[in-house]
Structure 1
Amino acid sequence: MAKRNRGKTISYLPSNGRGTCPLCERTGIKLLYPHKTETNQTIKVCKNCRHK
């Protein structure tokens, strides 16, 4: 059975949560995971960079 609410949580974000990852420089990838930088800023990164 299909899930009707899949993807609704990121639809309010600009470009549906997609952009360029600041760590790996990939384009058109979903940026959903918070990551703290050395200067204690929180940025959004892709799934592959969330543990770096």
Structure 2
Amino acid sequence: MATTTRGKVLRSIEGRTRGQCPVCERTGIKLLYELTNKEGETMQVCKYCRPKKELKKRK
């Protein structure tokens, strides 16, 4: 995991990015990735629900 997604940086964010993922309904998980739905709204999701297109761009 990159150092920007752990440690001091997360402590400064409200709720420390922990919560319930709106896609898979997991609780107490880090919500670090943005997902845009069909209506154009962005929401924070966990790493298991992050967009697959984003992963292909990195490789």
TM bracket (short chain)? 0.7 to 0.9
Structure 2: gaps spanning 5 or more residues: 1-5, 53-59
Structure 1: gaps spanning 5 or more residues: 1-5
Q: Which has the larger radius of gyration?
A: 1
1:8-35 CA distance string (max 9 Å, x none): 1111222311000000000000001010
Structure 1 residue ranges, 4+ long, deviating more than 3 angstroms after superposition: none
Judging by fraction of residues, say which structure has more helix: 2
Equivalent position of 2:33 in the other structure: 33
The percent identity for this pair of structures is 51
Cα RMSD (Å): 1.8
What one-letter code is carried by the residue in structure 2 that aligns with 1:12?
S
TM-score normalised to the size of structure 2?
Answer: 0.71
Equivalent position of 1:19 in the other structure: 19
